[in-house]
Structure 1
Amino acid sequence: MSSEKEMKVIGLAGWSGSGKTTLIVQLIPALVRRGLKVSTMKHAHHAFDVDKPGKDSYEHRAAGATEVMIGSGKRWALMHELREEAEPDSRSLMRHMTQVDLLIIEGWKAEGHEKIEIHRPAHGKPLIQPDDPKVVAVAADEELPGLPVPRLDLNDVEAIADFIVAHCGLTERAQPQKAQKGAAE
């Protein structure tokens, strides 16, 4: 029997240009300050590569390797070539993630995990929320009268972090105090 608790998952979904990535890079430190271990997973709608032609790992993949792992004293990365396989869904990819307190998923707005919709009415795009029962809140930069889920202020990162912690049932942990330079001098 595993003693690990289930990793909590929340998505940030919205139309291109709504500010999902900007919000995520602000949310991560706000959640980490609460003592939480946070990972992210991002969906790309286009071909992408994290490697460069001419590098050994790129050449291994170009030669036909299904997976190439590269590691150093700072990080490691595993690249898996799909070749003729179908694109995996977010659940399939989550199985490859290390267990943390919270996994934030950017994109995959049509999948079945709970999400916070990022919405900017000035962009003229429709809300996703009316057609997606998995949208548990909308973070917007304007009021949205009649919204059946909580509306979060897109510019109040701490309040959004508070919502995520409460909604996901996460327990904040005190961070150890770092010694201040010169304090004992």
Structure 2
Amino acid sequence: MMQRVFGIVGRSGSGKTTLIEAMIPWFSAQGVQVAVIKHSHHNLQFEPPQKDSSRFRAAGAREVIVASPYHYALFHNLHDQDEPLLADLVQRIQEADIILVEGYRQADIPRLEVYRPSRGIEPVYPTTENVVALASDQPIPDLGIPSLDLNQPTEVAAFILHYLTQIERAL
């Protein structure tokens, strides 16, 4: 089975992370394993500078893995490399049926826009490519693509699963 990748986009404060967080339990209940890739513009800091993994990275290690009985994390220092492409990150993920992506607007993947007119947040659609549906907290005019109720994350998740299944069948 191919990896199914689906993006969630929207302006800052629109509720992208909240929606993804609310959909994951539904996917899990359906037996669908989900991975998430989130793009950030910040310099990520996971441990204080005096901790071992930070010290290894500061010393110049290309990759550091921190593991415990509960989870592990891989830190990859870019040094002088460009930021990785989404396709490269997707290839690193194992054991996921669906990969939800927050951000990476330029990637060639289907995506849903989270749109909150109740907060005065403007949509990014149609300026962002590959938006196949909108999830909004208020009814919106027909824009030629499905409009979903943002307050019903299980319906949004079901739409995403159905959409990806249809694409997979078409291939």
What TM-score comes out, normalization by structure 1 length?
0.85
Counterpart in 2 of 1:6? 2
**Which whole-Å CA distance do the structure 2 matches of 1:29 and 1:133 have between them?**
28
Question: What percentage of residue pairs aligned between the two structures are identical?
Answer: 37
Aligned-pair CA distance for 1:88 = 1.2
Unaligned runs of 5+ in 2: 167-171
2:75 aligned to 76, 79, 92, which one? 79
Higher Cα Rg: structure 1 or 2? 1
More helix by share: 2
Give per-residue Cα distances to partners, 1:120-156, cap 9 Å, x unaligned: 1134343222123410100001111131110000001
Counterpart in 2 of 1:38? 34
Counterpart in 2 of 1:101? 97
Would the aligned equivalents of 2:116 and 2:122 in 1 still touch at CA under 8 Å? no
| Matching residue's letter, 1:77 | A
Counterpart in 2 of 1:138? 134
| Matching residue's letter, 1:39 | A
Give per-residue Cα distances to partners, 1:25-72, cap 9 Å, x unaligned: 110001111111111111001111122211111101111111111112
- When structure 1 is superposed on structure 2, of 141-150 and 119-128 the one drifting more is 119-128
Give per-residue Cα distances to partners, 1:103-129, cap 9 Å, x unaligned: 011111232211110001134343222
Give the alignment's Cα RMSD to 1 decimal: 1.4
- Are 2:149 and 1:153 equivalent residues in the alignment? yes
- Are 2:70 and 1:69 equivalent residues in the alignment? no
Q: Aligned to 1:95, what secondary structure does the other structure show?
A: helix
| Matching residue's letter, 1:149 | I
Counterpart in 2 of 1:175? none
2:19 aligned to 15, 20, 23, which one? 23
Would the aligned equivalents of 1:7 and 1:99 in 2 still touch at CA under 8 Å? no
Q: Aligned to 1:129, what secondary structure does the other structure show?
A: coil
**Which whole-Å CA distance do the structure 2 matches of 1:133 and 1:83 have between them?**
31
What TM-score comes out, normalization by structure 2 length?
0.91
Counterpart in 2 of 1:174? none
Matched residue pairs, number?
Answer: 166
- Are 2:85 and 1:89 equivalent residues in the alignment? yes
Would the aligned equivalents of 1:11 and 1:115 in 2 still touch at CA under 8 Å? yes
Structure 1 runs (4+) deviating above 6 angstroms are none
